[in-house]
């Protein structure tokens, strides 16, 4: 079984899940748009491959109403929901899990009027710019977290005894990427006190900021857009010149991500987000 859920940029949702509207056909889910660039060889036969990439693709869905009496309300709901002014996240639900396409845009919508006594058929096409489907789970854990573990004495009255904790990740976490391509990392640093020159390390690269964070400051390092923001404002001018986003990616297999600071590393919460990328849904 397969069903599709659309989440619009403003948070509204629409589903083809068999309740009112059932999916009858889909294309583009497992058809990557692989682009190969070549140039003529100066001597000899054949061409030279100069580059290869995965480009955008079109997702097309055909769905049918469960009953003809639903034709008019469904037609109005569908045309109102799929606005060209909005972007969409397209979630593909299968028995073995969920993957989604991000930032999709409406390319075409067809709801032909035929026999009013026959359940309507909808054909919907969306442009998928990413080229890869993403895992629904974005990890999203605090690698600076401390987990409470035990107390001594074990049965302690209020105000008596000592509580011990354990660093959940000890500033480093090992993450497996079992997707089909490298994944991009985003880290969110939240300061609980004064922190000097925070640094993120992942893959083969690092990003170090030459700044002092105060309690309440939020620093975001985005490996995909290669952007750094402090409290929502562009902070790229504060990058250490030796920083490199080239390595702030997760290759296939096991990867490490860690953080540090010149001072105050213990006063940071560091949330790490990444979505695995897949050729098909």
Tens of pLDDT, residues 98-148: 999 999 999 999 998 877 889 999 999 999 998 999 999 888 888 887 665
Percent of the chain with pLDDT over 90: 71
CA atoms of 207 and 49, how far apart (whole Å): 33
Q: Tokens 């969306």 sit at which residue?
A: 126
The predicted pLDDT at position 246 comes to 82
Q: What is the mean pLDDT of the chain?
A: 89
**CA distance to 46, 181, 207, 260, per residue, from 135 (Å):** 39, 12, 25, 28
Contact 215, 189 (CB under 8 A): no
pLDDT at position 139: 86
Q: Which residues of the chain have pLDDT under 50?
A: none
Element (H, E) at 153: none
Domain extents in the chain: 2-135, 139-278
Domain 139-278 has CATH 2.60.120.860: yes
Does domain 2-135 fall into CATH 2.60.40.10? no
pLDDT in tens, 4-35: 999 999 999 999 999 999 999 999 999 899 99
Q: What distances in angstroms separate CA 272 from CA 144, 176, 207, 266, 267, one per listed residue?
A: 10, 13, 14, 16, 16
In 3D space, the residue among 12, 134, 139 whose CA is nearest the CA of residue 82 turns out to be 12
What contacts 118, CB < 8 A, 6 or more positions away?
68
The Cα-based distances of 48 to 33, 34, 35, 38, 55 in angstroms read 20, 17, 14, 5, 20
Contacts of 2 (CB under 8 A, 6+ apart): 23, 26, 92, 93, 94
Q: Is 1 exposed, middle or buried (0-12, 13-18, 19+ CB in 10 A)?
A: exposed
The pLDDT assigned to 20 comes to: 93
pLDDT of residue 179: 93
pTM: 0.82
Query: Among 43, 48, 1, which residue's Cα sits nearest to residue 26?
Result: 1
Query: What's the pLDDT at 158?
Result: 59
Contacts 24+ apart (CB under 8 A), 223-227: 223/184, 223/185, 223/186, 223/248, 223/249, 224/184, 224/186
Which tokens sit at 271? 């949330």
The one-character DSSP state at 73 is: H
Is it true that 2-135 and 139-278 share their CATH fold? Answer: no
């Amino acid at each position: 079984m397969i069903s599709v859920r659309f989440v619009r940029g403003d948070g509204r949702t629409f589903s083809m899940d068999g309740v009112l509207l059932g999916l009858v056909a889909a294309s583009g889910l497992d058809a990557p748009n692989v682009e190969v660039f070549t140039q003529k060889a100066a001597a000899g036969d054949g061409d030279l491959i100069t580059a290869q990439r995965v480009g955008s693709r079109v997702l097309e869905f055909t769905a049918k109403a469960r009953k003809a009496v639903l034709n008019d309300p469904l037609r109005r709901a569908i045309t109102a929901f799929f606005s060209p002014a909005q972007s969409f996240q397209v979630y593909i639900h299968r028995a073995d899990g969920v993957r989604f396409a991000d930032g999709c845009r409406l390319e075409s919508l067809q709801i032909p009027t035929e026999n009013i006594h026959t359940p309507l058929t909808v054909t919907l096409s969306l442009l998928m710019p990413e080229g890869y489907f993403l895992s629904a789970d974005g990890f999203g854990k605090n690698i600076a977290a401390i987990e409470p573990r035990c107390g001594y004495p074990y049965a302690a009255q209020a105000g008596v005894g000592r509580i011990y904790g354990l660093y959940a990740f000890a500033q480093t976490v090992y993450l497996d990427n079992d997707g089909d391509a490298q994944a991009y990392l985003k880290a969110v640093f939240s300061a609980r006190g004064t922190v000097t020159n925070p640094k993120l390390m992942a893959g083969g690269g690092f990003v170090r900021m030459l700044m002092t964070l105060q309690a309440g400051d939020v620093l975001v390092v985005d490996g995909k857009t290669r952007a750094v923001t402090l409290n929502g404002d562009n902070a790229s001018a504060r990058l250490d010149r030796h920083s490199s986003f080239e390595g702030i990616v997760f290759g296939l297999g096991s990867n490490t991500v860690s953080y540090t600071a010149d001072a105050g590393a213990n006063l940071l919460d560091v949330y790490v987000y990444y979505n695995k990328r897949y050729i098909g849904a």
